[in-house]
Amino acid sequence: MEIRKAVIPAGGWGTRFLPATKALPKEMLPLADKPLIQYIVEEAVASGMEQIIIVTSSGKSVIEDHFNRNFELESVLQQKGELELLGEVQRIAALANICFISQQEPLGLGQAILATRELVGDEPFAVFLPDDLFDTEPPLTKQMLEVYRRYKGSVIALWRVAKEDTKRYGIVKAEQAAERVHRILDMVEKPAPEEAPSDLAILGRYILTPEIFEALRGTPLGKGGEIQLTDGLALLLKQQAIYGYELEGTYYDAGKPLGLLKASVALGLRHPRMGADFREYLKKLTRD
């Protein structure tokens, strides 16, 4: 079955970005001239997703506003002759069929995915975590879809990390199945370095079979008092095979300020309008 639906969990508090995120969702923080979540939606569309389900929470209506039409703004741009900008804001509203659902309980990523059960239905789907930004060609999820089609099982994105960083990620035990493809044997959420089964960390892109919903329903609260997706996947692993796809490309941890800043610089340098001037500015800054 082809994968048509994407889930983007966007209900977190963004505390690492305070005070910037006191009133502004972290998903709306800008990268060059677009908010972070727009890059994620564009990646989903480029990967073939037809319906995108964004899971939000209270105080995040601005995300929905961003993807809706703003007729007053469009009228102003039309009157001022800003036709290029007009086309851009209209394009945002036409990116995809986007629907929003509120995460009623702040019980972590697993609960956010559970909240989409009725909208996803009994079909496989993709999950895009907006904290993780990837610079790959073709898009990482599009590459993972090829692994899904070949092996007919859930696929998670993997990235090798330093041993001391295992406590920040879900970590897998795995055996190699093909080039950059691993069959998952076990996984654990944020283990101490001495307890980590490998250096392969789970990143924020997933292709999941619908059986994950039942697994998450049976998942007890884990680290942080939340329903951890990694724990749900560990339960699912007892029923069916799960594969990992090792990223080849650049990964930005946009869930923390330094990672977002690095991504901003990289994307700013490639920006079609401001990239050249920005490059010259950085050169001058370095010289000074």
pLDDT given at position 139: 93
CB 26 within 8 A of CB 60: no
Q: Taking residues 214-239, report their average pLDDT.
A: 86
Mean pLDDT of 93-109: 85
Measured CA to CA, the distance from residue 94 to residue 98 in angstroms comes to 9
Answer for the pair 173, 185: CB distance below 8 angstroms, yes or no: yes
Residue 32's pLDDT is: 85
The mean pLDDT of 127-137, rounded to a whole number, is: 93
Contacts of residue 125, Cβ cutoff 8 Å, sequence gap at least 6 = 3, 4, 5, 6, 7, 116, 207, 208, 210
The pTM of the whole model exceeds 0.85: yes
Structural domains of the chain, ranges and CATH numbers in brackets: 5-287 (3.90.550.10)
pLDDT at residue 37 in the model: 94
Helices 36-46 and 140-151 meet at what angle, rounded to 10? Answer: 40
User: pLDDT by residue (tens digit) across 64-77?
Assistant: 999 999 999 999 99
Whether residue 107 is predicted with pLDDT greater than 90 in this model: the reply is no
Q: At 188, is the pLDDT very low, low, confident or very high (cuts 50, 70, 90)?
A: confident
Q: Which of 5-19, 100-114, 151-165, 251-265 has the lowest mean pLDDT?
A: 100-114
Q: Which two tokens stand for residue 47?
A: 């990967």
pLDDT-derived band of residue 2, with 50, 70 and 90 as boundaries? confident
Of residues 7 and 61, more confidence is placed in 7
